[in-house]
Amino acid sequence: MRLRGSLAHDSKHENKAGKVKKILVIHGPNLNLLGQREADIYGRTTLDEINALLKKTAGEQGVVLTIFQSNHEGEIVDAIGKAKEEKFSAILINPAAYTHTSVAIRDAIAAVDVPTLEVHLSNIYAREEFRHTSLIAPVCHGQISGFGVNSYVLGLQAAVNIIKKPS
C-alpha cells in the first residue's frame, strides 16, 4: 500500500472550517507496473510520473492530494470507506481490473457520499468485451476513459470543478 500526500494552498478551495480541500487518488491493481506493463496499451509513463503530474496540477488548483495504490480489493474498499470521516472532498479512482468485477468497491463508493470520478488510461470501450462493463461508473459523477495520462489530469480537473461548485 502506498500513501502519499502533497500540499498546496489556495484560499479559494478551503472548506467551511478554513481547511484546504483534499482529494483522495486511488490507483488499483497492477498500476504500480505502469511504464513496463503492456506499454503499447498503457504507454511508457510510470506511476510515479503520473503522480508527479497530478501533484503539479493539484498545486496549481490549490487542493491537496493523498495518493494511494493497492493491488488488494479490501484495502481499496477500506480507503473509500474512510474517505468521508477523513474529510476528503472528492475521490479520483482508476479501479483498473476491479472496474469490471468489484461490487464491493461500487458499494463502498455508493456508501460514502463523496463525489467520485472514474478514470482509465485506455478506452475500455474499444477493448475486449469484458472491459466494456464498468460496475463502478453508475455510482460515480462521471468517467474519463481513453486519454492516456491525460485522463487523470482531466479527472482531477473535473473533481476540482465539483468541489468548487457552491453547495
Which residues are annotated as catalytic? Answer: 42, 120
Whole-number Å distance between alpha carbons of 111 and 81: 8
Contacting residues toward ligand DQA, per CB under 6 A: 30, 94, 96-97, 99, 120-122, 124, 131
Which residue lies nearer to ligand DQA by CB, 22 or 120?
A: 120
Pick 24 or 163: Cβ nearer ligand DQA: 24
Report in angstroms how near the CB of residue 28 gets to ligand DQA at its nearest: 7
Q: Which residues of 69-91 are buried (b: 16+ CB within 10 A; e: fewer)?
A: bbbebeebbebbeebeeeebbbb
3-state helix, strand, coil in the chain (%, to 5): 45, 20, 35
What's phi and psi for 148, nearest 5 deg? 60, -145
Task: Give least dist CB 100 to ligand DQA, A.
Answer: 6
Shortest spacing between CB 110 and ligand DQA, in angstroms: 20
Nearer to ligand DQA, 97 or 111 (CB): 97
Distance CA 142, CA 137 (A): 7
The whole-angstrom separation of Cα 59 and Cα 53 is 10
